[in-house]
Amino acid sequence: MAKVAFLGLGVMGYPMAGHLAARGHEVTVYNRTAAKAEVWVAQHGGRAAATPAQAAAGAEFVMACVGNDDDLRAVCTGAEGAFAGMAEGAVFVDHTTVSAAVTREMHEAAATAGIGFVDAPVSGGQAGAENGQLVVMCGGAQASYDRAEPVIASYAKACRRLGDSGAGQLTKMVNQICIAGLVQGLAEALHFAEKAGLDGRAVVEVIGGGAAGSWQMMNRYESMIEDRFDFGFAVDWMRKDLGICLATANETGASLPVTALVDQFYKDVQKLGGGRWDTSSLIARLRAMG
């Protein structure tokens, strides 16, 4: 069992850190809003630290799941960031969805301090984090990955290294590009069924096992029909991810017309007050349009 620090106890981080404790790892948590860390400790044991550096002191592995590029910089290299507290030879594992550019920047800074850095964004959503069934896409040095993989396994059903630093984040971009068009298609389909007077649940029961079936369909159709979005993967985060995808496509020359359009649809959802709604709220935009 390892000494592990976990930084960021949000929708994803809170249950992920819980799985580490359940596996018997010695876990120290840090959360910007300290009250959440106290609640976590009351539920799972372990310790709470006041700063990322304090949480990271003496840890063999430091896992993070925060918000965006700037948040990652803050918890890694900020004044009280984790790198300052980590010992040489320790490994930082970043589960945040961020750009490949900031990943390589942090990888360099870590290497200078003798620390390993693995980019390890996740897919599987809130339910995947709670059930310990995430898919984890990794980049970084093989040796760092090999050490971290058994710890990541505490909350993963699949974990794979896809290349050097940044390869995990690039793979996550592919994942988000797939999801953007798919969720808009699902929203249009359920909206169409509603307008046509069909029973949406019965429709999904029939077509869900066929060629149109998807994780999004089976895990989101009920809440979409019920117009319920106060859970899951926030629209604000999806726009952050799509922004990263579109910027990267500009650099590589890839063409992402549908992704760009769906990004604008999510902007409409934000205007409806849905920044924290689950990404399946694209159907709320269609309903708002009548």
Smallest distance, ligand NAP to C-beta of residue 33, A: 3
In this chain, which stretch among 65-73, 102-110, 212-220, 280-288 interacts with ligand NAP, using CB under 6 A?
65-73
* d(C-alpha 176, C-alpha 231), whole Å: 18
At 191, the amino acid letter reads: H
The verdict on 33 binding ligand NAP (CB under 6 A) reads: yes
Among 11, 137, 224, 262, binds ligand NAP (CB under 6 A): 11
* d(C-alpha 168, C-alpha 81), whole Å: 22
The verdict on 237 binding ligand NAP (CB under 6 A) reads: yes
Residue 41, number of CB atoms within 10 A of its CB = 16
The verdict on 54 binding ligand NAP (CB under 6 A) reads: no
> Total binding residues for ligand NAP by CB under 6 A?
26
Query: What tokens appear for 45 in the block?
Result: 């044991």
Smallest distance, ligand NAP to C-beta of residue 195, A: 29
The answer to whether 172 is a known catalytic residue is yes
The verdict on 96 binding ligand NAP (CB under 6 A) reads: yes
Catalytic residue among 36, 157, 172, 195: 172
Q: What is the DSSP letter of 86?
A: P
Cβ atoms of residues 18 and 42 within 8 Å: no
Q: How many CA atoms lie within 13 A of 287 on its CB side?
A: 17
Sheet architecture: strand order including 61-64: 47-48, 26-30, 3-7, 61-64, 91-94, 116-119
Among 15, 46, 125, 168, binds ligand NAP (CB under 6 A): 125
Instruction: Note the residues at the interface with ligand NAP (CB under 6 A).
Output: 8-13, 31-33, 36, 65-67, 71, 74-75, 96-97, 122, 125-126, 232-234, 237, 241
The catalytic residue positions are: 172
